[in-house]
Structure 1
Amino acid sequence: MRGVRFGITLVAASALLLTGCASDPLADQYREGSGKNYIAGDGTISEFAEPQRGEPVEFSGETVEGAAFDSSDTLGDVTVVNFWYAGCAPCRVEAPILEEVSQSFDGEGVSFVGVNVRDQAGTAASFEQTYGVTYPSILDVESGTAQLAFAGDVPPAAVPTTIVLDQEGRIAARVLGQLTEASILESIVDRLLAEQA
């Protein structure tokens, strides 16, 4: 009888312990041991009114093609910054969506730049070719300086994450996780363009 009560108590305690941890996606992925190698975002969209945007974000780096990129080059544009790497399955799904939106705003004062957080140039270039990505991406795997520049109040916090900067280079919106529809990003960019109209 004592063994049965101990077993029931142990099962109940285990259930409570698991229930208490169930809301932590990072812990869930760790326990799952799935080998995803990324922290999945939940698609949460955050937008920030002008008074809440803080200081401009300054970042730079070498692109996949070996050119220099500096955020000062895109000041005056709405700038879409996407954090990604080739082995990230959601990054593959959203790459055509990002490219579609990039093309739809061509010549309208909107810039796109990727921040590759894990790959070497060859792997990143292969991804860009496979998914038809035409905008530049910074290779940030060794220095991490681009990621660090965004590590303030609105960090990327997952891969993929898309952050949209206003014309002054301030964080105006963040999509935490996979972008599922072009219209979501288009709406954010349209609102920011309208601010300057």
Structure 2
Amino acid sequence: MSHGRASRRRFTLLAAPAAAVALALTLSACGTGNKTGGGGDTHFVTGSGGISTVARGDRVAAPKLEGESLDGKQLSLADYKGKVVVLNVWGSWCGPCRLEAKYFTKVAKATAEDVQFLGINTRDSQRGPAISFEKDFGVAYPSFYDPTGKLLLRFPKGTLKPQSIPSTVVIDRDGKIAARTLTGIDDTELHKMIDPLIAEK
């Protein structure tokens, strides 16, 4: 009987981190306009549209993100330093991701000279549905294949990290986290996030 309790305890301890990740990834994406997202030293402000921004002098470096793309090629965030980078977290099963995909495709084409779009595809256990999603919506930019959300956990605590699906994080030319939204957005909102960073010299 005690052996059974010990086994259950071990299972609970092992399951707890996975449950925490699952909970973090299933949080609803409805911006509440909170000023900060974790202690007093976060330095970011969330506007009424749910877009959080960090002043240039307060930004922190984006984490090291590298791995396989959906088409099996090696992909690294570091390769795009010097450009503004839009990181969109999405899944083929996600309704809001489908709604915003056409806007991301449109803005990616319009800003290709200054901005690199990258996706992080997560919680798709197979690549097939995600690849079909990209074809359906004409997504030409690459996406990391991150079915278990490991890349998302690399974002430092207290920063503008992705916490829902969809989430969008924008990184400045110096490789620092500059803006984030935790909800699906359209082209107008996307431009609000990236245009000020394009203008930075």
TM-score (norm 2): 0.74
Which residue type is aligned with residue 195 of structure 1?
E
Q: 1:187 to 1:92 in 2, by over 3 A?
A: same
Indicate whether 1:85 and 2:91 are aligned: yes
For the Cα contact (< 8 Å) 2:62–2:155, is it kept in 1? no
SS at match of 1:58: coil
**Partner residue of 1:5?**
none
**Partner residue of 2:146?**
140
Alignment of 1:48-127 (within 5 A): 48-106=54-112, 108-119=113-124, 120-127=126-133
CA RMSD across the alignment = 1.7
Which of the residues 158, 166, 177 maps onto 1:171?
177
Alignment of 1:180-191 (within 5 A): 181-191=186-196
CA distance in 2, matches of 1:46, 1:70: 25
CA distance in 1, matches of 2:138, 2:106: 10
For the Cα contact (< 8 Å) 1:56–1:168, is it kept in 2? no
CA distance in 2, matches of 1:157, 1:69: 22
Is 96-105 or 185-194 further displaced after alignment? 185-194
For the Cα contact (< 8 Å) 1:58–1:169, is it kept in 2? no
Q: CA deviation at 1:111?
A: 0.3
SS at match of 1:61: strand
For the Cα contact (< 8 Å) 2:53–2:180, is it kept in 1? yes
Query: Structure 2: which 5+ runs fail to align?
Result: 1-22, 32-49
Q: CA deviation at 1:151?
A: 4.5
Which residue type is aligned with residue 145 of structure 1?
K
TM-score (norm 1): 0.75
1:35-77 deviation per Cα after TM superposition (whole angstroms, max 9, x unaligned): xx94321141101111221123220111111111101111000
Bigger fraction of residues in helix:
1
> How many residues are treated as equivalent by the alignment?
158
**Partner residue of 2:5?**
none
CA distance in 2, matches of 1:195, 1:78: 10
Indicate whether 1:131 and 2:119 are aligned: no
Q: CA deviation at 1:188?
A: 2.1
Q: CA deviation at 1:155?
A: 1.9
For the Cα contact (< 8 Å) 1:63–1:136, is it kept in 2? yes
For the Cα contact (< 8 Å) 1:57–1:171, is it kept in 2? no
CA distance in 2, matches of 1:62, 1:55: 22
Q: CA deviation at 1:148?
A: 1.6
For the Cα contact (< 8 Å) 1:38–1:88, is it kept in 2? no
For the Cα contact (< 8 Å) 2:63–2:156, is it kept in 1? no
